[in-house]
Amino acid sequence: MHKIGSTGFLIFLSIFVSFVIFLYGPIFSIILLSFQGPSGGLTFPLNGFSFYWFGELWRGSGLVDIGASFRRSIGLGIFVMILTVILSVSAGLAFRKKFLGSDLLFYTTIASLIVPSIVLSLGVALEFRLIDSLIITFGEMLEIQSIVENFQTSLGMYTSGFGAQLTWTLPFGLLIMFAIFNRFDKSLEEASRDLGANSYQTFWYVVFPIIAPSIVGIALFGFTLSYDELARSSQVMGATNTLPLDLRGLTTTVTTPIIYALGTVTTSISFLVIGFSLTLVYILRHKKIR
C-alpha cells in the first residue's frame, strides 16, 4: 500500500505536479512578460528583452501615484503585523486556561474568519460613517469651527482600515497559537519553576524560545495578508488607497505590460518576505534542537 512507483503513486504524483504548475505557471508567465521590449503587449510571444517597463513603472507614467500607495501598504502591513503578533500571542497565552467567555471569544474569532468579507467591510464602513455624523452633529451643536469647516471623515487606514484587516489576520494568529500550545509540553514550565524561575523568567527563557518559530509564522501571516488584502479593505480606507486597491483599478484601465512589471515587483516583495520568514523559522527550529 502507498508504495513509491506503484500505479497509484504515479497518478497522484502527476496530479500533484500538475497542481503545482497550475499554481505557479500564470505568475511566472507575467514575470517573463514584464521583461519585454518597448513594443511588447499583454500576451505571448515575448517582444525582445529589456527593463523598459520597470523604467516606466519607476517614472510612474500613466499611472496613479503607485509609489505612494506602495509605501502606504508597506507601512500598514508592518503596523498590522506588529498588532497581530502581540494580540495573538497574548490571547494564545490566555486561552491555555478556560476563562469567562473563552468559548464565545473563540467562536467569534472563527466566525470572523468566515464572514463574507464584503459584509464586514460594509459594517466597518457604516460604523465609521455613523461616527462621522456624530462628530459633525457634535461640532455644529457646540459650534466648533475646525470641525464644521474642515472635518471630512473618520474613515482611514489607521482608524478603520487596520481593524478590518485585523479581523482577517488575527484568526490565523490565534489558530497558530492553538496549534503550538496543544502540543506544548507543560513539564518544561514546571521544571523551570522548580528551579526557581518566576513567571516572567519562565516565559522569556522557556516558553518564548519554543514558540518563537510560530511567532515568526504569525508575523508572516500578519504582514502578507495585510499587504495584499483587498476584499475587507475595499470600503474602509477612506480617502487613501492601498496598493491592492490601486491594482484593482488598474486591471480595467491599463493595457500595457506595465501592470505585469508592477505584478513582478509586488510578488517579488512577497517572495522576499516569505523567504526571509521561512529561513528564520528554519534557523530558530534548528537552534532549539541543538
| Residues 195-224 interacting with other proteins (rule: CB under 8 A) | 199, 220-221, 224
Site for other proteins in 18-47 (CB under 8 A): 19-20, 22-27, 29-30, 33, 41-44
- Give the residue, chosen from 47, 51, 68, 127, that forms a contact with other proteins under the rule CB under 8 A: 127
The CB-of-38 to other proteins minimum distance in angstroms stands at 18
- Give the residue, chosen from 82, 144, 179, 188, that forms a contact with other proteins under the rule CB under 8 A: 179
Candidate ranges 51-59, 105-113, 146-154, 206-214; the one touching other proteins (CB under 8 A): 105-113
The CB-of-55 to other proteins minimum distance in angstroms stands at 20
Q: Smallest Cα–Cα separation from 227: which of 266, 265, 263?
A: 266
Q: Does 230 bind other proteins (CB under 8 A)?
A: yes
Q: Which residues contact 284 (CB under 8 A, 6 or more apart)?
A: 209, 212, 213, 216
DSSP 98: -
Judged by beta carbon, residue 52 or residue 269, the one nearer other proteins is 269
- Give the residue, chosen from 228, 238, 241, 258, that forms a contact with other proteins under the rule CB under 8 A: 228
Candidate ranges 54-62, 74-82, 141-149, 171-179; the one touching other proteins (CB under 8 A): 171-179
With 0-12 CB in 10 A as exposed, 13-18 as middle and 19+ as buried, what is 97? Answer: exposed
Candidate ranges 53-61, 135-143, 206-214, 260-268; the one touching other proteins (CB under 8 A): 260-268
- Give the residue, chosen from 37, 47, 78, 123, that forms a contact with other proteins under the rule CB under 8 A: 123
Q: How far apart are CA 280 and CA 259, in angstroms?
A: 32
Candidate ranges 47-55, 60-68, 144-152, 258-266; the one touching other proteins (CB under 8 A): 258-266
The CB-of-178 to other proteins minimum distance in angstroms stands at 5
State the sign of the Cα–Cα–Cα–Cα dihedral 231, 110, 272, 15: negative
The CB-of-242 to other proteins minimum distance in angstroms stands at 11
The CB-of-127 to other proteins minimum distance in angstroms stands at 5
Q: How far apart are CA 283 and CA 290, in angstroms?
A: 11
Site for other proteins in 60-79 (CB under 8 A): none
- Unique residue bearing C-alpha cell 523559522: 281
Site for other proteins in 128-167 (CB under 8 A): 129-130, 160, 163-164, 166-167
Judged by beta carbon, residue 2 or residue 145, the one nearer other proteins is 2
Q: Which residues of 166-198 are buried (b: 16+ CB within 10 A; e: fewer)?
A: bbbbbbbbbbbbbebbeeeeeeebeebeeeebe
Q: How far apart are CA 177 and CA 94, in angstroms?
A: 11
With 0-12 CB in 10 A as exposed, 13-18 as middle and 19+ as buried, what is 155? Answer: buried
Site for other proteins in 76-95 (CB under 8 A): 86-88, 90-91, 93-95
Strands (DSSP E) found in the chain: none
Q: Give CA separation, 252 vs 53, 74, 79, 255, in Å.
A: 18, 24, 30, 8
Number of residues that bind other proteins (CB under 8 A): 101
φ, ψ dihedrals at 234, nearest 5°:
-60, -30
